[in-house]
Every structure is written in structure tokens, then in C-alpha cells.
Amino acid sequence: MVMRGGTSKGAYFLAADLPADPAERDRLLLRVMGSPDPRQIDGIGGAHPLTSKVAVVRPSDEDGVDVDYLFLQVQVDAPVVNAEQPCGNILAGVGPFAIERGLVAPSGPTTPVRIRMVNTGALAVAHVSTPDGAVEYDGNTLIDGVPFPAARIVIDLVDTAGSVAPRLLPTGNIVDTVDGHAVTLIDNGMPVAIVDAAALGVGGHETPAELEAMPELRRRVESLRLAAGHRMGLGDVTATTVPKVCLVAPPAAGGSLATRMFIPHRVHAAIGVLAAITVGTAAAIPGSVAAARLHKVADPTVPADVVRLEHPSGWFDAVVDVAATPDGISVGRSAIVSTARLLLAGTVYPRSEA
């Protein structure tokens, strides 16, 4: 199946329909998506990192878990398939996919689907609308970065702190000096290095195209990212996609915080779900780089535990509960509201292996 999940789009497979050997599987997925080719003209990829994604789903053997979800990022213009990190946008489609493929039976107006994110081991619970015993995709929930409304999917994230890095604050510090800049290094579902946009000489409200057209900025961001990778315990991240680098600035449209996310070499048209949870968590930690730019949301109807992150396509609400304890920073609830839609179901015909 091809599904839109959040602000991304990808191919969703049952694990049983793919080769068991990871190397053979990845070679097949490169052919399926049409990589390596900047246009992915000979496959079903969309010629952008946000539309060159794969979810591999299987029934879980773990008690209390319905399905295991492995996320694979297929690079567009290189023969690389990356399994280092999960994707919270593609995660939004996993619950509907599991129900569509008969891995989970509908159980009333809303069906909870317990999902183990294989990339990190973290657990998510997606609450999928199933009013008539089938997945409902139509609805009135709008998320910025998607032009049309769809049915609401609430996703609770469980134990995401230190999903890839050793812990929530990998260095134990709220702020570190990295590559000469004050940076918050944090992982609550996605390893992210957060830096003030002004420190890099930009306003933080530029479009992705404008930021990508600044070669010196991109060089400085990548230098910071490589240094942050070592500080976060991730080693040499030259050939990997984590950590991400998030530029933060004061909000410009009534939100809590303005964000521009390098993922890592392109700039996200919105913000990834797990990255949003991570940045929102940082914003709730007093003294962090994100907290220094945090403003009260202008809309009085927005709950106090919501951090409204402005991004190039609008805004994203992250629900975070953070508290200081004698042992450090404790994360309570992390949740997001998303949507997904089934685009097609059928047979894909990849090119032959050379």
C-alpha cells in the first residue's frame, strides 16, 4: 500500500512480502522506489526524502504489542537504505495499515493499535477511527503541511526518551557548547541538536528554499551536526541522517516557537513528528536553547501542555509533560495529533536487479 502518513508519504509492506535478508530487502526497495536517481523516475518514490520512505510491518511476538514497525529511509540519489531512526509521520499510517491488512481487528468507534517501533524499541499507541468496523479516512482534522482534512489519529508515545542516543539529554547537560555555539542536545524520539537561528546568522523564518540556497549556512549546520553526533554518543554521523539540526527563533504567527529543521541536508517543509516531540520537550525544559525563545501561545483555547511549533508550512502541536526530579528531567506524556490516508493498494513492479 502507498499511504500518506502525517506530512510524509511512503510504501507500506507486510514483512512477509519482502525478503527476510536485510541486504536483499534493501536492494529490492531501492528498485521499488527508483533510487538512486534524483527524479526516482523508474520507481514509486517522490524524488524527495519526505516521499521516499518505507514501513515494514509484522505481527508482534511481544506481549501487549500488536505490530512491529520498521521504518526505512530510502535515499533518493544514492543507493542507501537507512534504518537508524523511526519516522513519526509514517507511524501515523501504521495503525490504519495494520487494520487494513487484518493484523488488528477493529474494536469499536476507535481502535487502539499498539505499535513497537523496531528502530528504537519504543512503543506507540495509535487511536484509529473505525466507526463502522473499518478504517475511516474522511474527517475534519487539518494538520499543517497537508492541504486537505482527514480523520483524526491520536498517537501516544511511550518511553521515547533516549530512543537513539543514550538518554534524553545525552551529555547530561541542558546546554552544551558545540562547534562554538550554545546547543541543546536532546532525544525524546529523535536525536536533535537545537541551536538559535540568530547564532548562525539567519532569522529563523526563512523558507526551506532560501535556507538551502545558503551554502555557508549549510556548511556550518553540517559542521555543528557532525560535532553534535560525537557529543551525543552517536559516533561519526557523516553518512547517517541523525542527529537532525533544528534552528529556533521567536514565533511569528502566534505559536510557541519558530522552527526550521535540517533533515539533515535538506530543510523540512514542515517538521517531523518525533522531531517535533523532541523540540517541544526541549522547549519545556527551563534553560534550554528552545526555552529561551519560547512564547505563550496567543490562542487561549490551546491547553497549557501544548507546545505549538511554527514551521514553514504552518504549525504543529506537541503535547509534552516535563518535570524536574532529583534524578534529572522526567518526561511524562508525549502525544501528537495526526492524520493518514490510503492512496493505493496493489502490486509494484520493480526494475530487474542489474
Name the residue among 347, 251, 331 with its Cα closest to residue 293. Answer: 251
Q: Is there a domain that residue 135 lies in?
A: yes
In a shared domain, residues 210 and 278: yes
pLDDT digits (tens, 9 = 90+) for 138-149: 999 988 889 999
What is the grid cell recorded at 141?
482534522
How does residue 87 score in pLDDT terms, banded at 50, 70 and 90? very high
pLDDT digits (tens, 9 = 90+) for 287-342: 999 999 999 998 888 888 889 999 998 998 888 888 887 778 888 888 888 999 99
Q: Is there a domain that residue 137 lies in?
A: yes
Are the beta carbons of 250 and 293 closer than 8 angstroms?
Answer: yes
Q: What are the Cα distances from residue 40, in Å, to 12, 27, 48, 51, 246?
A: 18, 15, 9, 10, 28
What is the grid cell recorded at 348?
509494484
What is the rounded average pLDDT of the residues 221-238?
Answer: 97
What is the rounded average pLDDT of the residues 80-104?
Answer: 95
Which helix H or strand E contains 56, and what residues bound it? strand 53-59
**Residue with the larger pLDDT of the pair 272 and 216:** 216
In a shared domain, residues 20 and 141: yes
Are the beta carbons of 52 and 76 closer than 8 angstroms?
Answer: yes
Name the residue among 194, 50, 191, 189 with its Cα closest to residue 117. Answer: 189
In a shared domain, residues 183 and 137: no
Q: Is there a domain that residue 157 lies in?
A: no
At 119 the pLDDT is 93
pLDDT digits (tens, 9 = 90+) for 260-274: 999 999 999 989 888
At 256 the pLDDT is 96
Between CA 93 and CA 86 the distance in angstroms is 13
For CA atoms 297, 148, 145, 106, give the dihedral sign.
Answer: positive
Q: Is there a domain that residue 107 lies in?
A: yes
Per the structure, how many domains does the chain have? 2
Task: Give all strands (DSSP E) within 88-160, no chain letters.
Answer: 110-117, 123-129, 153-158
pLDDT digits (tens, 9 = 90+) for 29-62: 999 999 999 999 999 999 999 999 999 999 999 9
In a shared domain, residues 181 and 327: yes
- Express as a percent the part of the chain with pLDDT over 70: 100
Q: Is there a domain that residue 62 lies in?
A: yes
For the cut 90, the answer to whether the pLDDT of residue 210 exceeds it is yes
In a shared domain, residues 111 and 201: no
In a shared domain, residues 136 and 6: yes
Between CA 158 and CA 125 the distance in angstroms is 8
pLDDT digits (tens, 9 = 90+) for 247-260: 999 999 999 999 99
Q: Is there a domain that residue 198 lies in?
A: yes
Between CA 132 and CA 108 the distance in angstroms is 8
For the cut 80, the answer to whether the pLDDT of residue 207 exceeds it is yes
Residues 5-19: b if buried by 16+ CB within 10 A, e if exposed = bbbbbbbbbbbeebe
For the cut 90, the answer to whether the pLDDT of residue 232 exceeds it is yes
In a shared domain, residues 138 and 212: no
For the cut 80, the answer to whether the pLDDT of residue 73 exceeds it is yes
At 91 the pLDDT is 97
In a shared domain, residues 198 and 322: yes
For the cut 90, the answer to whether the pLDDT of residue 198 exceeds it is yes
How does residue 117 score in pLDDT terms, banded at 50, 70 and 90? very high
Are the beta carbons of 195 and 246 closer than 8 angstroms?
Answer: yes
3-class DSSP state for residue 27? helix
In a shared domain, residues 132 and 193: no
Domain range for 96 is 2-152+339-344
Q: Do the strands 81-82 and 181-187 form a parallel or antiparallel pair, or are they unpaired?
A: unpaired
Between CA 233 and CA 272 the distance in angstroms is 22
Is the preceding omega at residue 96 within 30 degrees of 0, hence cis?
no
What is the grid cell recorded at 250?
521567536
The most confident of 111-115, 159-163, 320-324, by mean pLDDT: 111-115
In a shared domain, residues 8 and 135: yes
> DSSP string of 173-208?
-SSEEETTEEEEEEEBSSEEEEEEGGGGTS-S---H
CATH of the domain at 304: 3.10.310.10
Q: Is there a domain that residue 311 lies in?
A: yes
At 328 the pLDDT is 80
In a shared domain, residues 73 and 143: yes
At 245 the pLDDT is 98
Q: Is there a domain that residue 163 lies in?
A: no
At 85 the pLDDT is 83
Are the beta carbons of 290 and 184 closer than 8 angstroms?
Answer: yes
In a shared domain, residues 261 and 326: yes
Name the residue among 103, 21, 20 with its Cα closest to residue 57. Answer: 103
At 244 the pLDDT is 97
At 305 the pLDDT is 84
Q: What totals of helices (H) and strands (E) does the chain contain, helices first?
A: 5, 17
- Express as a percent the part of the chain with pLDDT over 90: 82
